Amino acid sequence: MSISLSKGGNISLSKTDPSLKNVIVGLGWDARPTDGADFDLDASAFMVKDDGKVRSDSDFIFYNQTKSTCGSVEHTGDNRTGAGDGDDESVIVLLDKVPTDIQRLVFTVTIHEAELRKQNFGQVSQAFVRIVNKDTGVEVTRFDLSEDASIETAMIFGEIYRHSGEWKFRAVGQGYAGGLTALARQYGINV
């Protein structure tokens, strides 16, 4: 049973699902049925220290850098149209392999060239982002992007963070304008 988190809510992953070792952050949406530029949503992950910044640019996992050097975070590939069922893009996290100096893993969803294409989440059908236990296939939580962030083009979905020796998840659900570039700068990436 998936727990529906409201903005700002947090759960202990370790307590909610003690078997949780490997996490899938799944992003899905429907391909555009109408005429016009495709909807291209991108899932990304930022591995940040306790100061909220990355150690280096290699801690930014996205469509052009699909695996972290430590191997704990992996982006499974860029889907540019939303064609196909289920998750269209996903980021896999192996929690046991996350380096100890990484305090938080921040997951974001952005629309590629949203400004140029004049797009936002509300124009996309069935857009969602969710957390799934990779080993059991059980969904832990999800956001409905189309409904919850309709006029936004970027969203910080949530973060998995260390707290007193366990992993917790916080549902941030904060929408932004400015796209992936603005988000990357916020976490200390040189773009």
Binding interface with another protein (CB under 8 A): 32-36, 118-123, 146-147, 150-151
| Cα separation, 116 vs 188, whole angstroms | 25
For tokens 């590629």, the residue is 112
Nearer to another protein, 78 or 144 (CB): 144
Nearest distance from C-beta of residue 38 to another protein, angstroms: 12
| Cα separation, 23 vs 134, whole angstroms | 5
Neighbour tally for 39: CB within 10 Å: 23
| Cα separation, 13 vs 140, whole angstroms | 8
Provide the CB-side half-sphere exposure for 33 (13 A, CA): 4
Could you tell me which of 114, 135, 137 has the C-alpha nearest to residue 124?
114
Nearer to another protein, 4 or 136 (CB): 4
Nearest distance from C-beta of residue 100 to another protein, angstroms: 42
Nearest distance from C-beta of residue 124 to another protein, angstroms: 8
Nearer to another protein, 6 or 34 (CB): 34
Nearer to another protein, 36 or 99 (CB): 36
Nearest distance from C-beta of residue 2 to another protein, angstroms: 15
